[in-house]
Amino acid sequence: MDRLVDMFLANLATERGLSRNTIAAYSSDLEEFCRFLEGRGIHDLSLVSRELILQYLEWVGPRISARSCGRRLATIRSFYKFLQRSLMAENNPASRIGFPKIPAPLPRVLNASQVTALLEYPNTQSPLGQRDKAMLELLYAAGLRVSELTQLELSQVHLDMGCLVVRGKGDKERLVPIGEWASKALKEYVEHGRRVLDRNGQCRNVFLNRDGKKLSRQGVWKILKHCALKVGMDVSLTPHMLRHSFATHLLENGVDLRSLQAMLGHADISTTQIYTHVARARLKEIHEKYHPRP
C-alpha cells in the first residue's frame, strides 16, 4: 500500500502541480486510512469495500469536523481514481458515498474605514515601512492569496501596465490589475526600500524580510497582526480577510461575477458566488441600521 500511495503523491506533484501543503494533507489522510486498514488486518487495497470506508469515516468522525471528514473522503476517492486510471484497481469503493453537508460560513470582511486605516498605518520613511505599505496595498488591490504574494517575483511585476502576472493554484497564471495606489506604493518600495533590504542583489522575490531573504507566509501574518493591533482593530486580521474584502467591495460597487472570478483565479464560478451572499448580508445590515422603518 505504501508504494501505491507514494505513486499517487508523486502524480499529484508532477501531473496536477499541487502545492507541498496540499500534497502533505493528502499524505496525512492516506497514512491514517492505511493505518485503519492495517489495524483490521487488511493489506490489499482491492479488498476495501464501500462499507469499510463508511466504517473508517465513522471511526474518525467523532474526532474531526464534518469538513475534515469530507476531505478524507475526497482523498480516498481521488486515490482510487488514480488507481483505476493506472489499471491497479477495478472499481472505486468511495464513488457512491455522499459527502457530509457543511454549512458554508460567510467570509469575514473589513469595512472601508478599516481598510483605509490599515493602509495608511505603515511609516514609509523606512525600508520595512515601504515594504509593509506595498504589501498591504497589493493584498487589497489585487486580492492575492498569501502564497501568491510571497512567491511573487520581480519579473511578474509590470508597473508600466499597472498589473501583475500572478501564479495561482496549479501553477496557473492570471493577469491582475492593481490600480494607481498599489502601483505607487510598489514602485517606491522596489526602487528604494527593496534595494536596501536586498543586500546581495540575488533574491528574485519582491517581498523580502530584514535579512534580505524571501518573506515567509508566517512573516506576512505577523506583519498584518501587528498593523491591525496598532490601528486598534478588534478583529484577528489574516491575509485572506483582505482578499475577501477586495472581492466583496468590488462586487458591492458593481463588478460582474465573471470578472471577479478571473481576478481571484477561481477555477469554478461557484466558489466566487459566495461573495454575492456576503454582499446581500451587508446590504441587509446597512438597511436595518439606517432605514427609518427597518
The residue from 133, 145, 194, 249 that is catalytic is 145
The answer to whether residues 209 and 223 touch, using CB atoms and an 8 Å cutoff, is: no
Respond yes or no: is residue 243 known to be catalytic.
yes
The residue from 81, 213, 240, 282 that is catalytic is 240
Q: In what order do the strands lie in the sheet with 173-177?
A: 157-158, 163-167, 173-177
Q: How far apart are CA 100 and CA 69, in angstroms?
A: 8
Amino acid at 190: V
The answer to whether residues 118 and 136 touch, using CB atoms and an 8 Å cutoff, is: yes
Respond yes or no: is residue 169 known to be catalytic.
yes
Respond yes or no: is residue 96 known to be catalytic.
no
Rg (alpha carbons) of the chain, rounded to whole number = 23
The residue from 81, 169, 214, 225 that is catalytic is 169
Q: How far apart are CA 16 and CA 21, in angstroms?
A: 14
The residue from 194, 244, 249, 266 that is catalytic is 266
The residue from 131, 243, 244, 249 that is catalytic is 243
The answer to whether residues 142 and 164 touch, using CB atoms and an 8 Å cutoff, is: yes
Q: How far apart are CA 19 and CA 244, in angstroms?
A: 22
User: How many CA atoms lie within 13 Å of 25's alpha carbon, on the beta-carbon side?
Assistant: 13
Respond yes or no: is residue 167 known to be catalytic.
no
Respond yes or no: is residue 140 known to be catalytic.
no
CA distances in angstroms from 278 to 1, 122, 206, 259, 282, listed in the order given? 44, 29, 32, 17, 6
Respond yes or no: is residue 213 known to be catalytic.
no
Neighbours of 217 (CB within 10 A): 15
The residue from 56, 140, 189, 275 that is catalytic is 275
Q: How far apart are CA 110 and CA 42, in angstroms?
A: 51
> 3-class DSSP state for residue 231?
coil
Residue found by looking up cell 482510487 in the block: 80
Amino acid at 29: D
Residues labelled as active-site residues:
145, 169, 240, 243, 266, 275
